Amino acid sequence: MARLKDVAKAAGVSIATVSNVLNGTKTTTPVVQRRVLEAITALGYQPNLHARSLRTGQSRTLGLVVPDLTNPYFPALVQAIETTARAAGYALIVMDAGNDAERETEALTLMASYRVAGVIWVPVGENHAPTWPFPVVTVDRAVPGCDTVVADHLQGGSLVAQHAIALGHRRVGLLSGPRSLASAALRRAGFLRAATGQLELAWEHEVPFSSELPPHVQVRLAEPGCSLVVCANDAVAVGVLRAARAAGLRVPDELSVIGFDDVPWSDFVDPALTTVRQPLAALGAVAVAMLHTRINQPALALQHQILPVELVARRSAGKAPAEPAPVPAARPGGQS
């Protein structure tokens, strides 16, 4: 490959001059500038970023560590990160932690070897934050010493509750996600807060983020005793859809279902899922923006951004069915 030296020789000029016109470090006379640029295109010169990084001590590479690329949540995030990173002049080294804390630290130390300018990190679980030799911004989970950008799960939960109320539901079942995950806990909290006084919690179960529902939940769904099931996840929403079908319950006529995440296929299942959309693209864009400013101004105060989510109403959640006179506890004087 052509080196700076070759360009210099071809342009009849010193190697430093080529470097200068290349990055506009010093002013140059137009004629020599033209000669240099011509030589560059003629030789198809591409700067050696290894050499540049070595010399300048900074690199134009960002790292990205995610727990599991096949999680439908991530592709859109990764895409947004890659696109905005490249637009800002960074390339992206991606590593998959395989949902394993050990492989995750492995990945992060590797990132150190590659001398990335910074990394965007979606932590796999609860974690120690050994301090890394590069700035880190975490996405979706807060980690003590790091900048963070998360979706507003709390708001998401309350949006669900509001929607349920607006549709006229009274008794709802709740399938909440692993309590140990901050995001799941926040969704639950937001939902419960906005539900108090308006919605009655028929039952609640804590389930993993999966469409394979545990047996006791399946039997519960055979006779839900509520008009709406609020799910931790689009995946568990699909599980509920299945269970409902198995029980002969028509969705949404007899039972409404609400998911969370708006994964790409939530519009493909039948009925299409009413769910809460996470601002994946914005999450990614903000993450690289934060990282970029942190790289340039390491001393800045820690940032913590919370991005708004959005309820997308589709067919899986409909109006509450006319109450089958459900044990009229309060008799306001009507005939019984």
What is the contact surface with a second copy in residues (CB under 8 A)?
1, 46-51, 53-54, 59, 61, 68-70, 72, 74-76, 78-79, 82-83, 86, 91-96, 98, 107, 109-110, 112-115, 133, 211, 238, 241-242, 245, 263-265, 268-270
Applying CB under 7 A, the residues found at the interface with DNA are 3-5, 13-17, 19-20, 22-23, 25-29, 31-33, 45, 47-48, 51-52, 54-57
241 contacts which partner out of DNA, a second copy, none, CB within 5 to 8 A by kind? a second copy
Q: Kindly state the smallest distance separating residue 99's Cβ from a second copy, in Å.
A: 11
| Alpha-carbon distance values, 103 to 63, 65, 68 (Å) | 15, 10, 11
Q: Which is nearer to a second copy, 10 or 78 (CB)?
A: 78
Report which DSSP code applies to 265. G
Shortest Cβ distance from residue 66 to a second copy (Å)?
10
Q: Please give the single-letter amino acid code of residue 42.
A: A
By a kind-dependent CB cut-off of 5 to 8 A, residue 100 interacts, out of DNA, a second copy, none, with none
Asked if the bond preceding 224 is cis, omega within 30° of 0, the reply is no
Tokens found for residue 49: 């970023």
Closer of 28 and 99 to DNA (Cβ) = 28
Report, in Å, the least distance between residue 30 CB and DNA: 8
268 vs 336 by CB, closer to a second copy? 268
Binding partner selected for residue 204 from DNA, a second copy, none, CB under the kind-specific 5 to 8 Å limit? none
CB of 244 to DNA, least distance (A): 59
DSSP H helices, the chain, are 4-11, 15-23, 30-43, 49-56, 74-87, 101-113, 153-166, 182-195, 215-222, 234-246, 280-296
Half-sphere exposure at residue 9, Cβ-oriented, CA atoms within 13 angstroms: 7
229 Cα distance to chain centroid: 24
32 touches, from DNA, a second copy, none (C-beta below 5 to 8 Å by class): DNA
Residue whose C-alpha is closest to residue 229's, from 207, 187, 201: 201
- Give the DSSP letter string of 187-209: HHHHHHHHHTTT-EEEEEEE--S
Using DSSP's 3-state secondary structure scheme, residue 306 falls into strand
Question: Least distance from C-beta 40 to DNA, angstroms?
Answer: 10
Q: Which does 87 bind (CB under 5 to 8 A by kind): a second copy, DNA, none?
A: none
**For a second copy, which is the closer residue by CB, 145 or 328?**
145
Which residue, chain included where needed, has tokens 């590593």?
95
- The CB-of-58 to DNA minimum distance in angstroms stands at 9
- What, of DNA, a second copy, none, does residue 15 touch, CB below 5 to 8 Å by kind? DNA
Half-sphere exposure at residue 250, Cβ-oriented, CA atoms within 13 angstroms: 6
Please give the DSSP secondary-structure letter assigned to residue 69: T
29 contact choice in a second copy, DNA, none (CB below 5 to 8 Å, kind-dependent): DNA
